[in-house]
Structure 1
Amino acid sequence: MFANVISGKGSWAVRYSEYGKPSFCIVLDGRCLLAIDGHQPVAIGAGDFVLLPTTPAFTLSSFAPAPPVHLDPDQVAGGQGELRYGEPEGEPDMRSLGGAFVFDCVDPGLLVSLLPIVVHVQGSARLSQLVQMVGEESADPKPGSEFMRSRLVELLLVEAMRAAAAGSAPPGLLRGLGDERLARALRQLHAQVERPWTIDQLAKIAALSRSVFFERFTRRVGVAPMAYLLAWRMAIAKELLRADGLAVSEVAERVGYGSTSAFSVAFARHVGQSPSRYARMD
């Protein structure tokens, strides 16, 4: 995780180009306008948490119109010091912490593809407490503040996921994890992807009938259970082929295929090329 403190006073606007990776914004003080490409602008205020799983281009601004300053997020990410927009002197009208998450997990592309375009959480007392702590660490850095801020933001992400899952999130992983019974099956599926899972087994873990489980999973996650399992297996296979230099037969076994040929056919159909060719790509 890396982040920058961003503040603005008077009339100001900053335009960020598409980033393509998960990013967030925590409003520490004041209010501003967030305009994400393809979406209506929304007002965000102190205590709000915004997560952009794929971070399309967006504009952050005051409510008064102003010519935007254009920025490349790759050039400003993780920089030192506060990024100030608008009037350079005086107490800012808005202060926020903006940054990005760097995932160590297998293929975050699958995870973010199952999340909404934007997750906006407001009015959560628990989130507000965490935001206040983040603000204190940002305003008065002490030894260990960077570590503390990183851990607090991770907690904010978890709390935001909980709040969004409990609300009116669209179909996706959030909705699935927000359903206590589906979450049991999802956790087992993620933890033991090599198992020859069936609908009946997953339904039993969720304590639901086969038909109810299938319908509920498909409606809330947005894809059928076996289609989700396939996508998850292929995501892990891609990571193993690139990162660990394993033989195709070993990768096939790790993601639940009894034969290398069956795995190769499934991989080629899903990814568009054979496992061995994918492994050789730079």
Structure 2
Amino acid sequence: MSDPLTEVVRLLQPQAVFANPISGKGDWAVRYSEYGKPSFCIMLEGSCLLAVDGHEPFTLSAGDFVLLAATPPFTISSFGPAPCIHLDPKTMTEGAEERRYGEQRGAPDMRSLGGAFLFDNADPQLLISLLPGVVHVQNSMRLAQLVRMVGEEYMDQKPGSEFMLSRLIGMMLVEAMRSVTTGSAPPGLLRGLGDERLAPALKKMHAQVGHAWTVAELAQAAALSRSAFFDRFTRTVGVAPMEYLLSWRTEIAKDLLRRERLSVSEVAERVGYGSTSTFSVAFSRHVGQSPSRYAASGSGPG
């Protein structure tokens, strides 16, 4: 049976578009302006304070992983007061040279790796729509192991590091998404996967995206009455079952058109439409342009 989280990561194909080692000693503070796209922070050593606009400040400790889905303005700092340095993440470039804040000499109190995701032409809104504004994963032995490996790969820059980092970042993304299936996610796929009744139905939809699903069939998979399933799905996932299926079929279709270079008729058949014209109308309504134009442009709007 298809795993929905694997499918999401496969569609996004995450890579670390840039990452910078950051260290601090003594009292220091750095204020980043809005970035607007998914970014992450990996704590390698020590601890610091993270204050994301619109959220309560919290402590980051070694082994922690933070994912900011849309990256609003935020401040990262020591625990003591300090003058704030202002930076624009959109003008920062990748580099293995460590950015040092506070006291310039001596062993740092904290070391971290901060970066942003590149999703291989995919629309990052797919990820942003799945996650809460701030994902903070802590006390995870599995994640701590990944954090250590990312730090080693990034600092050593051995042959094959780019490939290794892209895979490790993808694994961290899955761990982050797993961590929010327990109820902290906004209405959507992740919250649905955290619901023991809805999860089997969602997995069936993803496993056979081209099947002519009915609400009755999905309700049976969830062991719920048709009306109870419809209400629970709509409340938990945020849209009605058939609307969700349409949305996911569109994401699959976008991938097939862009990456697989299939014809419009082949894609229509693959994602469960009886005719090319019906598929084209549904795709155009959802994406804002026809399948053929989307395929020719190489990516969607934005």
Question: Structures share a fold, TM > 0.5?
Answer: yes
Partner of 1:201: 217
Judge which range, 140-149 or 108-117, deviates more. Answer: 140-149
Q: Tell whether the 8 Å contact from 1:19 to 1:74 is kept in structure 2 after alignment.
A: no
Q: Tell whether the 8 Å contact from 1:106 to 1:236 is kept in structure 2 after alignment.
A: no
Amino acid at match of 1:232: W
* Secondary structure of the corresponding residue to residue 72 of structure 2: coil
> CA–CA distance in 2 between the matches of 1:130 and 1:276?
40
1:74 deviation in Å? 6.3
Amino acid at match of 1:88: Q
Partner of 1:217: 233
1:108 deviation in Å? 4.9
Decide whether aligned partners of structure 1 residues 237 and 107 sit closer, same or farther in structure 2, where only a CA change above 3 A counts: farther
Judge which range, 240-249 or 19-28, deviates more. Answer: 240-249
Partner of 1:68: 85
Judge which range, 104-113 or 155-164, deviates more. Answer: 104-113
> CA–CA distance in 2 between the matches of 1:150 and 1:234?
25
Amino acid at match of 1:76: T
Q: How does 1:20-39 map to 2 (within 5 A)?
A: 20-39=36-55
Residue 62 of structure 2 is aligned to residue 46 of structure 1: yes
Decide whether aligned partners of structure 1 residues 127 and 256 sit closer, same or farther in structure 2, where only a CA change above 3 A counts: same
Residue 193 of structure 2 is aligned to residue 174 of structure 1: no
Partner of 1:163: 179
Once the two structures are superposed, what CA deviation does each residue of 1:55-79 show, in whole Å capped at 9, x if it has no partner? 33433222323222413356324x2
Residue 256 of structure 2 is aligned to residue 256 of structure 1: no
Partner of 1:96: 112
Q: Percent identity?
A: 66
Once the two structures are superposed, what CA deviation does each residue of 1:13-67 show, in whole Å capped at 9, x if it has no partner? 3343444443221222222222323334333223322112233343322232322
> CA–CA distance in 1 between the matches of 2:252 and 2:121?
9
Q: What TM-score does the superposition give when structure 2 sets the normalisation length?
A: 0.77
> CA–CA distance in 1 between the matches of 2:153 and 2:38?
21
1:85 deviation in Å? 2.0
Q: 2:98 aligns with which of 67, 82, 86?
A: 82
Contiguous gaps of at least 5 residues in structure 1: none
1:213 deviation in Å? 2.4
Judge which range, 167-176 or 114-123, deviates more. Answer: 167-176
RMSD: 3.1
Amino acid at match of 1:183: A
1:116 deviation in Å? 1.3
Count of aligned pairs: 280
Q: How does 1:4-19 map to 2 (within 5 A)?
A: 4-19=20-35
Partner of 2:3: none
Q: Tell whether the 8 Å contact from 1:240 to 1:251 is kept in structure 2 after alignment.
A: yes
* Secondary structure of the corresponding residue to residue 231 of structure 2: helix
1:155 deviation in Å? 3.8
